[in-house]
Amino acid sequence: MKKNVLFCIWLVLYAICAGLGFLENPQGLQKAALMAISLIFFIPGVILLVDSILKKDKKTLCILRWVSGLSLGLTTLAIIANVFSVFGSAALGSTLYAILILVSVPMVSGQLWFVSLFLWACLFFTTIWARKRV
């Protein structure tokens, strides 16, 4: 599969997961479906990662490193901002939470925040490891 197609699929999954992140209190089957979709979100990234390692494609590795690094960094900043939003208004808290949903896809939609952060970190550190091998 071409890289451009995989990046487009990943972008569509981003949009789906970002939209699903705004659902409030999913229960039962809906919660399970959200978790499954949040795991599916990482499949194009992993395919791109493996393909770029096998083909020794430094450019794609660099793109994946930037995407995963930005996601981790912006998520960290958004979580810190959300913690400090208790000193602000309710509107500020809601706005910062919406920003968190958008920068941390699929963390909120997947319900299990640590799984998403772990998978982003795995993607990030694997690109660093692969850079030395390629």
pLDDT score of 133 more than 90: no
Q: What are the helix (H) ranges across 1-134?
A: 3-20, 28-40, 43-54, 58-84, 90-103, 113-133
pTM, two decimals, is 0.90
pLDDT of residue 119: 95
Mean pLDDT (the chain) is 93
Buried-exposed string 109-119: b where 16+ CB fall within 10 A, e elsewhere = bbbeeebbbeb
